[in-house]
Amino acid sequence: MSTEVTLRCDEVRGKAARFVGAADPSEVAFVKNATEALNTVILGSGLRKGQLVVTTDHEHNSVNIPVIHATRTMGVRRITVGSTPEGTFDLERFKEVMSKEVGLVAMCLTSNVTGHTIPARDIIDIAHSQGAKVLLDAAQAAPSAPLDVRALDVDYLAASVHKMLGPSGVGLMYVRSDLSNQLAPVMYGGHAVQEATDADFELLPSPERFEAGLQNYSGIFGAGAALDYLSKLGLDEVRAHERVLNRRLTSAASDIPGVSVVGPSDPDARAGIFSFNAAGLSPHDIAMILDSSKNIAIRSGMHCCHAFFNARALKGCARVSMYIYNTEAEVDYFAQSLSDLVGRIGHRS
């Protein structure tokens, strides 16, 4: 039975490697979520005191907080690249801040607030020209954007299976093979050890060195089913469907007084994300009222991106996330429900 578990996990690892375009399955480790993967790279990649870490101004706390922690405990410094007025990545500003002092570029590939996707290949080429490594937080991108880590030439990548139609409790961490032995795990223990005495130990090579402790085997098997489904469906089809829905919703929302989009105005630049505020209504009020009166489930608040909202003096936003299981009829229902809500107690308040 234990051999069967190992073989099935290896099978899923192969699927995950193909899904992200890795050269070898050993470059993909199973962790409990993208947060663990991001922490592992930021805190374990050997950044030295005085080195710079470059991020964007719309990072999830899974990047933001480990970087802050690294500045406090490791003596690294941080530069944040602000967005353009339209809410897109400022590539010219990025070029200005890059130097040989940068050790790591850590950025979300697609923002979970605005839906904007950064020009990853350009960023990676610039970073590598200065000798810096690049970590991409692909948690929001992986569900609908085709990934090819070799074509991108990225060094590290993190994703969470629960955003990809799979179960919670499973993350994917890609580490380029020549970097794996230089990356220190955040956890140590059983399954990850080659040999040990009471004074020393030797870790197994990747991916086992990053998989200490009992693995979430059932979650990994579920991840395999999700990867099969998405691969068969085709991520180009998923992204095309998201855009159809977002265009439809953006058009309908433009006719609702007091509704403003958070992020780029072009729906094609936001994938399946429609984040917004409505004058006279708090984001939480919008979400609670639509939930209780219309059975509509959206999210509200700062979406684990506190720094983004605090820098803009915003208390958060409401966010609609559209995916393959959503329909045009649901988009129309939401738009009409929001219009009714705003008409009753929104912008007139």
Per cent of the chain over pLDDT 90 is 96
Residue 263: give the domain boundaries: 235-345
pLDDT in the model for residue 345: 83
Residues 276 and 136 in one domain: no
Q: What angle do CA 36, 42, 47 make, to 5 degrees?
A: 150
Prediction pTM value: 0.95
| Contact in structure between 123 and 107 (CB atoms under 8 Å) | yes
Q: How far is CA 246 from CA 251, 269, 277, 287, 313, in A?
A: 8, 10, 16, 18, 26
Residue that is last in its domain, among 184, 205, 233: 233
pLDDT reading at 318 higher than 50? yes
Residues 218 and 242 in one domain: no
66 preceded by a cis bond (ω within 30 of 0): no
Residues 239 and 226 in one domain: no
pLDDT in the model for residue 174: 98
Residues 130 and 202 in one domain: yes
Domain of 331, CATH number, reads: 3.90.1150.10
Burial of 153 (0-12, 13-18, 19+ CB in 10 A): middle
Residues 313 and 194 in one domain: no
Distance, in Å, from the CA atom of 189 to the CA atom of 326, rounded to the nearest integer, reads 42
Residues 292-299, mean pLDDT to the nearest whole number: 97
pLDDT in the model for residue 348: 54
Q: Which band of pLDDT confidence, cut at 50, 70 and 90, is reported for residue 347? A: low
Q: Which band of pLDDT confidence, cut at 50, 70 and 90, is reported for residue 242? A: very high
Residues 305-334, mean pLDDT to the nearest whole number: 96
pLDDT reading at 76 higher than 70? yes
> What would the pLDDT profile of 86-114 be if each residue is shown by its tens digit?
889 999 999 999 999 999 999 999 999 99
Residues 77 and 170 in one domain: yes
Residues 9 and 109 in one domain: yes
pLDDT reading at 286 higher than 50? yes
| Contact in structure between 27 and 207 (CB atoms under 8 Å) | yes
Q: Is 304 a catalytic residue?
A: yes
Residues 206-231, mean pLDDT to the nearest whole number: 96
CA atoms within 13 A on the CB side of 335: 19
Residues 190 and 251 in one domain: no
Distance, in Å, from the CA atom of 306 to the CA atom of 304, rounded to the nearest integer, reads 6
Residues 173 and 298 in one domain: no
Burial of 16 (0-12, 13-18, 19+ CB in 10 A): buried
Residue that is last in its domain, among 173, 203, 233: 233
pLDDT reading at 161 higher than 60? yes
| Beta strand spans in 22-170 (E) | 28-31, 52-56, 77-81, 102-108, 133-137, 156-160
Question: Which tokens go with 188?
Answer: 């140590």
pLDDT in the model for residue 349: 47
Domain of 14, CATH number, reads: 3.40.640.10
**Positive or negative, the Cα torsion across 43, 46, 50, 54?**
negative
Query: Torsions phi, psi of 21, nearest 5?
Result: 80, 25
pLDDT reading at 120 higher than 80? yes
pLDDT reading at 225 higher than 80? yes
Residue that is last in its domain, among 188, 217, 233: 233
Residues 316 and 189 in one domain: no
Report the chain's C-alpha Rg in angstroms: 21
3-state secondary structure (DSSP) of residue 173: strand
Q: Which of 9, 108, 304, 305 is catalytic?
A: 304
pLDDT in the model for residue 285: 96
pLDDT in the model for residue 247: 98
Residues 330-347, mean pLDDT to the nearest whole number: 91
| Beta strand spans in the chain (E) | 28-31, 52-56, 77-81, 102-108, 133-137, 156-160, 171-175, 193-196, 201-203, 259-261, 273-278, 299-301, 317-321
Distance, in Å, from the CA atom of 87 to the CA atom of 57, rounded to the nearest integer, reads 10
Sheet holding 156-160, edge to edge: 28-31, 171-175, 156-160, 133-137, 102-108, 52-56, 77-81
pLDDT in the model for residue 86: 87
Q: Which helix H or strand E contains 309, and what residues bound it?
A: helix 306-311
β-strands 317-321, 299-301: how paired? Answer: antiparallel
Q: Give the CA dihedral 19, 29, 167, 289, nearest 10 degrees.
A: -90
Residues 161-186, mean pLDDT to the nearest whole number: 96
Residues 282 and 315 in one domain: yes
Mean pLDDT of the chain: 96
pLDDT reading at 51 higher than 50? yes
Residues 227 and 143 in one domain: yes
What's the total number of domains in the chain? 2
